[in-house]
C-alpha cells in the first residue's frame, strides 16, 4: 500500500533571530521546515538589547542559561554634553548576537526544523512551488518561502527600494568590558551635534558593543567612524586592536511602510519578516523586538494554513501590532532629532527634563523598556507637561 508523497517543506531563508524563531514556531506546530543560512550563529554589529516588552512576550529569553547582561542603568548625554543616569525599573537584557542566534537556532533544531548551512543564491517559482538554488548544495524545493535574510538581501519584495534617506549607517567596535569607564550594568547613549543618530555602548555578557549610527550619507561612513573615535577618546576608552564592524540598517519612512508588500501568494506563497521586511524603529534603529514578533505572527498565521499559506492573517497581524508603532516613530523622527521646544533642541530639553523631573525620568524608562509606545507618547507628554514644568521652576 503506497502513501502519497508529502508536500515540500516551508523554507526559511536566514538564520538570524527572526528566521530561527519563525522556523522553531512552525516546526513546533507540526510543519515540515527547512532553515537555510550561510553563517548561522555569528557576531552581528548591533547593540543586542532585548527590552522588557520583548522579555515579557518571549519569557524563555529571560530564563535562558546563556550569557547575557541584565542592565540596570542607562546614561543619556545630550549634544551639548548634559548627562543623566536613568535607573531602569524594568529589565533590559543585552545579548551577544552570536549567543542569541545560537539559542534560537538550537530551539529550531529541537522543534524539528532541518538546518542547512548554505547560501541561497537563486529563488524561482513554478507550478509546484519554489525552487531554491544553493551556492554549494543541491537545489531545494519548498511550497512557500519566508525571507529573513536581513535588509540587504536580494529577495526583498517592495514595490520600490528604500531611498538613500531611509537607511542608517553603523560603525563600531567590540571592546572588553574592563575598558568601559562605567559599571558593566550600564548602557550609554550619547547624542552628537548635527547627527541624526547617536553613539551607544551596550555591555553584553563578555564584551561591549560600542558604536555609532547615523542617517546614511550625512555624514559619510568614514566620518561616522572618526566621530565615534573622538567620543571614545573623550571617554578615555581605548579601542586599539579591537574588532571593527560596519553595517546598514533600514529606517523606513511612513510612506514606505504603507506601500510595502510584506507577503503575497503570487506566484507562490512568500513573506518577509524582521529586517528583511524593514521592520526597524527609524528613531533608534532597534529591530530585535520587531524581528521576533513578526516571526511569531507569521508562524501563527501559517501554522495551520495547509499546503498553500495565504498572506491575509500575517498582514492583519502586522497592521494590528507592529506597523502603527513604526509609522508613528517615522512621523516623530524628524522632530526628535531636529525639533525645538521652549527655545532649545528637543534632545537638550529631554535630558534637562530628565535631570530635574521624576515624572519625565519615568517616561524615558518606560520608553526604553517598551512599556510606553510611540502611539500614546504625545498624549502622555501633554498630560505631564505642566507638572514637569512646575518641577523645573526655580
Render 117-139 in DSSP notation, one character per residue. ES-EEEEEEETTEEEEEESSS--
Whether residue 232 is found in the same domain as residue 217:
yes
pLDDT band with cut points at 50, 70 and 90 for residue 1: very low
- How many angstroms separate the CA atoms of 231 and 279, rounded? 29
- How many angstroms separate the CA atoms of 151 and 277, rounded? 7
118 φ, ψ (degrees, to nearest 5): -160, 165
Q: 314: domain CATH number?
A: 3.50.50.60
DSSP 167: E
Whether residue 192 is found in the same domain as residue 153:
no
- 132 lies in some domain: yes
Task: Over range 96-118, report the average pLDDT.
Answer: 94
Whether residue 200 is found in the same domain as residue 328:
no
Whether residue 15 is found in the same domain as residue 130:
yes
**Residue 344 host element (H or E):** strand 344-345
Of 250, 285, 316, which residue sits at a domain end? Answer: 250
DSSP 82: -
pLDDT band with cut points at 50, 70 and 90 for residue 374: very high
pLDDT band with cut points at 50, 70 and 90 for residue 271: very high
The yes-or-no verdict on residue 372 having pLDDT over 50 is: yes
- 83 lies in some domain: no
Whether residue 191 is found in the same domain as residue 295:
no
pLDDT number for residue 158: 43
Whether residue 182 is found in the same domain as residue 214:
yes
pLDDT band with cut points at 50, 70 and 90 for residue 159: very low
pLDDT number for residue 382: 80
The yes-or-no verdict on residue 131 having pLDDT over 50 is: yes
Whether residue 145 is found in the same domain as residue 208:
no
Among 59-68, 279-288, 311-320, 349-358, which stretch is predicted with the lowest mean pLDDT?
A: 59-68
Whether residue 246 is found in the same domain as residue 258:
no
Mean pLDDT of the chain: 89
pLDDT number for residue 2: 46
Residue 214, strand partner residues:
169, 197
Of 250, 273, 297, which residue sits at a domain end? Answer: 250
SS3 56: helix
In this structure, the strands spanning 120-126 and 129-134 are: antiparallel
- How many angstroms separate the CA atoms of 236 and 269, rounded? 53
**Residue in the structure block whose three cell numbers are 521586511:** 277
Q: Which of 217, 216, 247 is nearest to 151 (CA)?
A: 247
b vs e for 72-99, b when ≥16 Cβ sit within 10 Å of the residue's Cβ?
A: bebbbbbbeebebbbebeebbbbbbbbb
pLDDT number for residue 119: 95
pLDDT number for residue 375: 92
pLDDT number for residue 387: 64
Whether residue 277 is found in the same domain as residue 328:
yes
- 327 lies in some domain: yes
Supply the range of the domain harboring residue 138: 10-68+94-161+253-332
- 1 lies in some domain: no
- 367 lies in some domain: yes
- How many angstroms separate the CA atoms of 80 and 340, rounded? 14
pLDDT number for residue 25: 97
DSSP 193: T
Whether residue 181 is found in the same domain as residue 239:
yes
- 235 lies in some domain: yes
pLDDT for 196-246, tens place per residue?
999 999 998 789 999 999 888 776 778 899 999 999 999 999 999 999 998
Whether residue 37 is found in the same domain as residue 111:
yes
Q: Which of 211, 173, 175 is nearest to 195 (CA)?
A: 211
Helix ranges (DSSP H) in the chain: 17-28, 52-57, 59-62, 97-111, 221-235, 254-259, 288-302, 312-317, 323-338, 346-356, 358-369, 377-392
Whether residue 142 is found in the same domain as residue 17:
yes
Q: How many residues does the chain have?
A: 394
Render 231-270 in DSSP notation, one character per residue. HHHHHT---TTPPEEEEEEE---HHHHHH---EE-SSS-E
Give me the number of domains the chain comprises: 3
- 3 lies in some domain: no
Amino acid at each position: 500500500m503506497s502513501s502519497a508523497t508529502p508536500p515540500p517543506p516551508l523554507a526559511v531563508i536566514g538564520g538570524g533571530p527572526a528566521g530561527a524563531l519563525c522556523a522553531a514556531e512552525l516546526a513546533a506546530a507540526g510543519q515540515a521546515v527547512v532553515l537555510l543560512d550561510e553563517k548561522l550563529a555569528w557576531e552581528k554589529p548591533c547593540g543586542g538589547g532585548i527590552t522588557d516588552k520583548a522579555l515579557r512576550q518571549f519569557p524563555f529569553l529571560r530564563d535562558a542559561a546563556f550569557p547575557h547582561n541584565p542592565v540596570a542603568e542607562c546614561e543619556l548625554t545630550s549634544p551639548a554634553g548634559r548627562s543623566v543616569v536613568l535607573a531602569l525599573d524594568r529589565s533590559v537584557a543585552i545579548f551577544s548576537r552570536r549567543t542569541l542566534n545560537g539559542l534560537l537556532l538550537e530551539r529550531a533544531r529541537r522543534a524539528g526544523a532541518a538546518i542547512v548551512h548554505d547560501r541561497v543564491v537563486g529563488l524561482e517559482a513554478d507550478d509546484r512551488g519554489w525552487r531554491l538554488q544553493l551556492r554549494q548544495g543541491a537545489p531545494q524545493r519548498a511550497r512557500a518561502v519566508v525571507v529573513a535574510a536581513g535588509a540587504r538581501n536580494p529577495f526583498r519584495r517592495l514595490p520600490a527600494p528604500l531611498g538613500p534617506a531611509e537607511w542608517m549607517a553603523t560603525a563600531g567596535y567590540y571592546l572588553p568590558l574592563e575598558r568601559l569607564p562605567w559599571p558593566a550594568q550600564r548602557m550609554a547613549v550619547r547624542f552628537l551635534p548635527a547627527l541624526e543618530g547617536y553613539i551607544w555602548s551596550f555591555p553584553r555578557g563578555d564584551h561591549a558593543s560600542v558604536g555609532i549610527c547615523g542617517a546614511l550619507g550625512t555624514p559619510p561612513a568614514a566620518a561616522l567612524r572618526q566621530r565615534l573615535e573622538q567620543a571614545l577618546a573623550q571617554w578615555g576608552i581605548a579601542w586599539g586592536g579591537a574588532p571593527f564592524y560596519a553595517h546598514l540598517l533600514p529606517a523606513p519612512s511612513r510612506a514606505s511602510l504603507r506601500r510595502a508588500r510584506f507577503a503575497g501568494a503570487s506566484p507562490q506563497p512568500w513573506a518577509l519578516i524582521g529586517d528583511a521586511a524593514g521592520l526597524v524603529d527609524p528613531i533608534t534603529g532597534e529591530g530585535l523586538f520587531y524581528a521576533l514578533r513578526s516571526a511569531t505572527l507569521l508562524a501563527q498565521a501559517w501554522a495551520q494554513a495547509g499546503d498553500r499559506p495565504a498572506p491575509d492573517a500575517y498582514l492583519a497581524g502586522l497592521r494590528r501590532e507592529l506597523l502603527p508603532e513604526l509609522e508613528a516613530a517615522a512621523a516623530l523622527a524628524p522632530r526628535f532629532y531636529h525639533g525645538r521646544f521652549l527655545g532649545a533642541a528637543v534632545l537638550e530639553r529631554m535630558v534637562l527634563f530628565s535631570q530635574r523631573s521624576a515624572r519625565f525620568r519615568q517616561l524615558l524608562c518606560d520608553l526604553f523598556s517598551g512599556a510606553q509606545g510611540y502611539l500614546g507618547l504625545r498624549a502622555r507628554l501633554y498630560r505631564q507637561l505642566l507638572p514637569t514644568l512646575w518641577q523645573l521652576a526655580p
